[in-house]
Amino acid sequence: MPKPIVAIVGRPNVGKSTLFNRLVGGRVAIVEDQPGITRDRLYRDVEWGGRTFTLVDTGGLDFAEEEGLPSMVRRQVELAIEEADAILFLVDAREGLTPTDEAIASLLRRTRKPVILVANKVENFTRGAQLLADFYRLGLGDPLPVSAVQGMNTGDLLDRLVSLLPESEEVLGEGDAVRIAVVGRPNVGKSSLVNAILGEERVIVSDVPGTTRDAVDTFFTRQGRRYVLVDTAGIRRKSRINMPVERYSVIRALRAIDRSDVALILLDAREGVTEQDKRIAGYVHEQGKASVLVVNKWDLVEKDNRTADRYTQEIRRDLSFMTYAPVVFISALTGKRVPRVLEMVDVVAEQSSIKIPTPALNSLIRDATLHNPPPADQKRRLKIYYATQGGIKPPTFILFVNEPDLMHFSYLRYLENQLRAAYSFVGTPIRFILRQRE
Regarding whether 386 and 340 lie in a shared domain, the answer is no
Question: Is the pLDDT higher at 377 or at 424?
Answer: 424
Residue 219 belongs to a domain: yes
Give the CATH number for residue 419. Answer: 3.30.300.20
- Single-letter residue type at 240: R
Residues 338 and 232 both lie in one domain: yes
pLDDT tens per residue across span 6-38 = 888 888 888 888 898 888 875 444 444 444 333
Distance between CA atoms of 265 and 279, rounded to whole angstroms?
A: 11
| Mean pLDDT to the nearest integer, 94-103 | 90
Q: Do 57 and 110 fall into the same domain? A: yes
**Using CA atoms, how far apart are residues 323 and 262, in angstroms rounded to an integer?**
16
Is the peptide bond between 12 and the residue preceding it cis, with omega within 30 degrees of 0? no
Choosing from 135, 164, 193, the residue where a domain stops is 164
Q: Report the phi/psi class of residue 426: left, alpha or beta, with left for phi > 0 and alpha for psi in -120 to 50.
A: beta
Statement: residue 72 has pLDDT above 80: no
Instruction: Give residue-wise pLDDT tens across range 123-162.
Output: 877 766 777 889 999 999 999 999 999 988 999 999 999 9
216 & 324 share domain? yes
- Confidence check: pLDDT of 360 > 80: yes
Q: Is 74 exposed, middle or buried (0-12, 13-18, 19+ CB in 10 A)?
A: middle
The mean per-residue pLDDT over the stretch 84-110 comes to 90
The count of other CB atoms within 10 Å of the CB of residue 299 is 15
Last residue of a domain, which of 336, 351, 366?
351
Please tell me which of 53-57, 62-66, 149-153, 426-430 the model is most confident about, judged by mean pLDDT.
426-430
Q: Residue range 46-67: average pLDDT?
A: 69
pLDDT above 90 covers a percentage of the chain that reads 48
Give the domain extent around 45. Answer: 5-164
* Shared domain check, 120 and 23: yes
* 203/334 same-domain check: yes
Residue 196 maps to a domain: yes
Helix or strand (DSSP H, E) at 267: strand 262-268
**Residues 192, 304: one domain?**
yes
pLDDT confidence bin for 231, thresholds 50/70/90: low
If asked whether residues 249 and 274 sit together in one domain, one would say yes
Res. 69: pLDDT tops 50: no
Residue 173 lies in a domain: no
Q: Are 148 and 204 found together in one domain?
A: no
pLDDT digits (tens, 9 = 90+) for 323-343: 999 999 999 999 999 999 999
134 part of a folded domain: yes
268 DSSP assignment: E
Q: How many domains does the chain have?
A: 3
The answer to whether position 273 is within a domain reads yes
Q: Which of 164, 186, 216 is the last residue of a domain?
A: 164
- CATH number of residue 258's parent domain: 3.40.50.300
Asked whether residue 394 is assigned to any structural domain, the reply reads yes
How many alpha carbons lie under 13 Å from residue 71 in its C-beta half-sphere?
Answer: 0
115 and 84 part of one domain: yes
**Residues linked to residue 43 through DSSP beta bridges, in sequence order:** 56
Is the residue at 170 inside a domain?
A: no
- For residues 327 and 196, membership in a common domain is answered with yes
Based on the domain organization, do 271 and 341 belong to the same domain? yes
- Which string of b and e fits 102-112 if b means at least 16 CB within 10 Å? ebbbebbeeee
pLDDT on residue 413: 94
3-state helix, strand, coil in the chain (%, to 5): 35, 25, 40
> Is 111's pLDDT higher than 60?
yes
Distance of CA 289 to the CA centre of its chain: 11
Handedness of CA 198, 426, 293, 55 (dihedral sign): positive
| Overall residue count recorded for the chain in this entry | 438
Question: Which residue did the predictor score with more confidence, 64 or 413?
Answer: 413
Q: Does residue 383 contact residue 406 with C-beta atoms inside 8 Å? A: no
Note whether residue 169 is domain-resident.
no
The pLDDT of residue 389: 97
